[in-house]
Amino acid sequence: MSVTHTLDTSTSRAHPVPSPMKRLTVPKLAAMKGGEPIVMLTAYTARMAQLLDPHCDLLLVGDSLGQVIYGLPSTVPVTLELMCAHGAAVVRGSWHSVVAIDMPFGSYEASPQQAFESAARILKETGAAAVKLEGGEAMAETIAFLTARGIPVIGHVGLTPQAVNALGGYGARGRSEAEAKKILADARAVAEAGCFLLVLEGVMEEIAADATKAVACPTIGIGASPSCDGQVLVTEDMLGLFERTPRFVKRYDDLAARIGDAAALYAAEVRSRAFPGEDQLYRTKK
Ligand code: KIV
């Protein structure tokens, strides 16, 4: 009698759906400067990645998962372990988009060597193609160190949420002339250090437009400018999963209300014994 230890995964929700699309690459994304805008959304789970992947060029496993998935007050407590686990899930759920993973607070700031160890771990454990890290001029040396060692890096300047304790909140940046100059200098520094994309978050529109002209790599805006080379949103914000909608978010659905309605109907049917019905039952054939 032969014994097989192979699981039949055809009944699993995680059963992969083959896709005819070929995965984009970092050089192809970098070459999109000034062309068709780059489409980027956040994803934290395999299923969400499967749904978003055909429509996106880039899926970002953002450390915003701390707030969105884990209910943390900020991104500061997010760990490398969490980023690796969610990053691997998103890579498993995608075939087409480049997957990039946020380096969490505390995993890269101490030195270029610390950043290399963290980034190498992220790429090895997840299969993602790139990492993203926050910070301007102060991070330029680290970005140059990583890119020289084969790690594609996305920069992130303007409102940098990991610095919320220093910034005192999540307000848009660059209202004063000095702050505007600093953001432009940050953008130039990280681009010259070698990042292949640059996220501009929560900045005055003119700053994002000027930065997009000033740097050689594509810029991705979030609360920035339509003249950026691409746009990113947190998917759950875009889907209307939260009651609070920041100014820079456009809601493309009202999922919170629709989930509430579905849960209310389910609860009513369980209580009235309308669910499960005949269609949901297994019966032995007579
Ligand atoms: O953590 C995140 O999701 C991000 C994007 C919003 C840019 O950094």
The parent domain of residue 243 ranges over 5-280
85 domain-assigned = yes
Angle made by CA atoms 108, 111, 114, in degrees to the nearest 5: 55
SS3 state of residue 285: coil
239 domain-assigned = yes
- Cα(77)–Cα(75) distance, integer angstroms: 6
Instruction: Tell me if 104 CB under 6 Å of ligand 1.
Output: no
Using the mean position of ligand 1's atoms as its centre, give its distance from the Cα of residue 234 in Å: 7
pLDDT of residue 19: 61
Instruction: Tell me if 200 CB under 6 Å of ligand 1.
Output: no
285 domain-assigned = no
Q: How many structural domains does the chain have?
A: 1
- Cα(121)–Cα(109) distance, integer angstroms: 16
Measuring from atom 1 of ligand 1, which residue has the nearest CA?
62
Per-residue pLDDT of the chain (286 residues; tens, 9 = 90+): 445 566 666 667 776 665 667 899 999 999 999 999 999 999 999 999 999 999 999 999 999 999 999 999 999 999 999 999 999 999 999 999 999 999 999 999 999 999 999 999 999 999 999 999 999 999 999 999 999 999 999 999 999 999 999 999 999 999 999 999 999 999 999 999 999 999 999 999 999 999 999 999 999 999 999 999 999 999 999 999 998 899 999 999 999 999 999 999 999 999 999 999 999 999 998 8
Instruction: Say if pTM beats, i.e. exceeds, 0.75.
Output: yes
What CATH number is attached to the domain comprising 177? 3.20.20.60
52 domain-assigned = yes
Instruction: Tell me if 232 CB under 6 Å of ligand 1.
Output: yes
> What is the distance of C-alpha 210 from the center of its chain?
24
Instruction: Tell me if 29 CB under 6 Å of ligand 1.
Output: no
SS3 state of residue 99: strand
19 domain-assigned = yes
Measuring from atom 5 of ligand 1, which residue has the nearest CA?
62
pLDDT of residue 4: 55
pLDDT of residue 277: 97
User: Left (φ > 0), alpha (ψ -120 to 50) or beta: where does 281 sit?
Assistant: beta
pLDDT of residue 146: 98
286 domain-assigned = no
Contact 221, 208 (CB under 8 A): yes
